[in-house]
Amino acid sequence: MRWRRSRKIFQSVLALVLSLLAFSTAAAQVTNPSFESGNLTGWTIRGDAAVQTSTLGVNPADGTSVAFMATLTDGFVNPAVPVGKGATAALVESALKITPGTLLGAGNGTPILCSSISQDITLQAGQLLTVKWSLLTNQTYDNGTSSSRAPDLQNNDFAFATLVDPAHATHFTKLGDMTYGYHAAPNTPAGFTTAFGITPATCPFMAATQYHTFKFSAPTTGTYTLGFGIVHASKATQDNGVNSALVVDDIQINTDLSKVLALPAAVVGGQNSTGAVVLTTPVPGASPISVALSTDLPVATVPATLSMQTSDGLSKQFPINTIPVDTALTVTITAKLGSTTKTTTLMVNPPTMDDFHLSPTTIVGAPGHISNGVIHLSGPAGPSGLQVFLTSDSAAATVPASVTIPAGVQGKSFQINTAKVNSNTVAHIKATLASQILSAALTITP
């Protein structure tokens, strides 16, 4: 009963903690995030950008369509754009709302031909934006041999992602350029062992990277300008006129793990705790997310996964079950969502005596007249059982030297034999478990 009352207190504390963490937010949305509309509805376009399908020789990361941006030397992505009339760096930077000079500051040379898409989105602090991207080019290739063409560092096209936060600060990431994955180490064939590979014959680009994932964790809540682009940059007097492109697909806004809790953080083996996963923001959209749960010791178990959805808000509880133990053990509980891992610890303890009493507490002393001692533990005894040592300070009441409580059992009784007395005598019976001592008084009458 004591533990049940304590558990209710702990659950109340957990509920209070989670309520303090909870707040109402609107799920952030990206308009046309996988470009399945067949066009760039919701996006601001600069330069040569359009939606394409796998017929271009690039398989979408999600659905059937991708956003395609090219450096505009042939105008093939969007035929409405005249050949060689790409957007200037200034025009793209203005559309993306990024700091002027950002594209030149990438270090690849003077931006000559640029294309970009952008839109304003709302993010909650802690939300995780993920985007699949691939870089394509005719400037370099990898045929798997030492004849792989080396990058042209004087004309080093590059792809980028930008976000401008609510404080108008620019967050710029160069996704890749023509040196991406290239190596030319001595005594080994040069090539793009970790990046560019030859594309199918149907693709107008010679080489492409596999899909990679761009990630951005929102530092604050507010409106962000999200942008992607491709730049033909040159350090040479003469532009080599080679075309490159950026493919973007499967834009998602997800929540992230904030923490995992266990309340109470210490329990007696065989009793349970309550865990809770806390997110940075509620789950966006209609699809639930799955948080993987695990423990490092089998004395405590948790569900393998915890499914969370928008209606759960910031947190959701899960049971932590334990088994009886002989010694105190610290269990690490791990929650994993995507690439984020959070841990907490739970102490699983052996039981202690939470009650020791006699029945009856007053008895006539005489052979055959006995009182029963009852020992009750705070939880079941561990696999090895428990030995409780007994003593009496009066010859009028004798007890066994010890009593053994078997594994899995939470209590045990023993007999106290009495002897005849001439006057009322009080015997103090002590029960000792490890360093814990409980005592009870037995009054023996004539």
pLDDT tens digits for 287-343? 899 999 999 999 999 999 999 998 999 999 999 999 999 999 999 999 999 878 999
> Which residues, 6 or more positions from 150, have their beta carbon under 8 angstroms from its beta carbon?
140, 182, 184, 190
Residue 31 lies in a domain: no
How far apart, in whole angstroms, are the C-alpha atoms of residue 309 and residue 291?
11
Res 75: pLDDT? 55
Q: Where does residue 10 fall: left (phi above 0), alpha (psi -120 to 50 degrees), or beta otherwise?
A: alpha
Q: 10 Å Cβ neighbour count for 271?
A: 22
Domain boundary (252, 283, 314) is at 252
Per DSSP, 55 falls in state: G
Residue 395 lies in a domain: yes
Number of structural domains (the chain) is 3
Res 146: pLDDT? 67
With a pLDDT cut of 90, the percent of the chain lying above it is: 67
Residue 69 lies in a domain: yes
Q: 10 Å Cβ neighbour count for 65?
A: 19
Q: Where does residue 84 fall: left (phi above 0), alpha (psi -120 to 50 degrees), or beta otherwise?
A: left
Q: For residue 304, give the CATH number of its domain.
A: 2.60.40.10
Give the phi and the psi of residue 90 in degrees, each rounded to 5.
-65, -40
> Which residues, 6 or more positions from 434, have their beta carbon under 8 angstroms from its beta carbon?
352
Residue 242 lies in a domain: yes
Residues 243 and 305 in one domain: no
Res 17: pLDDT? 52
Per DSSP, 12 falls in state: H
Residues 217 and 284 in one domain: no
Q: What is the DSSP string of 107-154?
A: SS-EEEEEEEEEEEEEE-TT-EEEEEEEEEESS----SSTTPPPP-TT
Per DSSP, 297 falls in state: S
Residue 36 lies in a domain: no
Assign 3-class secondary structure to 215-228. EEECCCCEEEEEEE
Strand partners for 46: 116
Res 82: pLDDT? 65
Residue 199 lies in a domain: yes
Residues 10 and 144 in one domain: no
Domain that holds residue 360: 353-445
Residues 334 and 439 in one domain: no
Take residue 210 and report the two structure tokens written for it: 């596999």
Res 150: pLDDT? 81
Q: Where does residue 353 fall: left (phi above 0), alpha (psi -120 to 50 degrees), or beta otherwise?
A: beta
Q: How far apart are the first and last CA of the chain?
A: 37
How far apart, in whole angstroms, are the C-alpha atoms of residue 389 and residue 408?
19
Q: Is the Cβ–Cβ distance between 390 and 405 less than 8 Å?
A: no
* Tens-binned pLDDT, residue by residue, of the chain (446 aa): 444 445 554 455 555 455 445 443 444 478 999 999 999 999 999 998 999 998 878 889 999 999 999 986 655 566 666 666 678 999 999 999 999 999 999 999 999 889 999 999 988 888 889 999 999 998 887 776 766 778 888 999 999 999 999 999 999 999 999 988 887 766 666 777 778 888 888 888 888 999 999 999 899 989 999 999 999 999 987 777 788 999 999 998 888 888 999 999 999 999 999 999 999 888 877 789 999 999 999 999 999 999 999 899 999 999 999 999 999 999 999 999 987 899 999 999 999 999 999 999 999 999 999 999 999 999 999 999 999 999 999 999 999 999 999 999 999 999 999 999 999 999 999 999 999 999 999 999 99
Res 28: pLDDT? 47
Residues 237 and 273 in one domain: no
Residues 120 and 234 in one domain: yes
Residues 326 and 412 in one domain: no
Domain boundary (234, 252, 270) is at 252
pTM for the whole thing?
0.64
How far apart, in whole angstroms, are the C-alpha atoms of residue 6 and residue 249?
51
Residues 395 and 332 in one domain: no
Res 32: pLDDT? 93
User: Scanning the structure block, which residue is given the tokens 């999200």?
Assistant: 226
Strand partners for 322: 300
Residues 193 and 339 in one domain: no
Residues 360 and 332 in one domain: no
How far apart, in whole angstroms, are the C-alpha atoms of residue 66 and residue 64?
7
Residues 235 and 298 in one domain: no
Residue 37 lies in a domain: no
How far apart, in whole angstroms, are the C-alpha atoms of residue 327 and residue 318?
25
What b-and-e string marks burial along 355-384, b requiring 16 or more CB atoms within 10 Å of the CB?
Answer: ebebeeeebebeeebebebebbbbbbbbee
Domain boundary (225, 252, 279) is at 252
Residues 240 and 319 in one domain: no
Residue 330 lies in a domain: yes
Q: What does the pLDDT look like over 245-297, one tens digit per residue?
A: 999 999 988 888 889 999 999 999 999 999 999 998 888 777 899 999 999 99
Q: What's the alpha-carbon Rg for the chain, to the nearest Å?
A: 36
Per DSSP, 304 falls in state: S
Type of residue numbered 305 = T
How far apart, in whole angstroms, are the C-alpha atoms of residue 215 and residue 248?
13
Q: Let me know the angle formed at the C-alpha of 251 by 259 and 228, rounded to the nearest 5 degrees.
A: 115
User: Scanning the structure block, which residue is given the tokens 């992602």?
Assistant: 161
Res 242: pLDDT? 83
Distance of CA 165 to the CA centre of its chain: 24
How far apart, in whole angstroms, are the C-alpha atoms of residue 266 and residue 312?
26
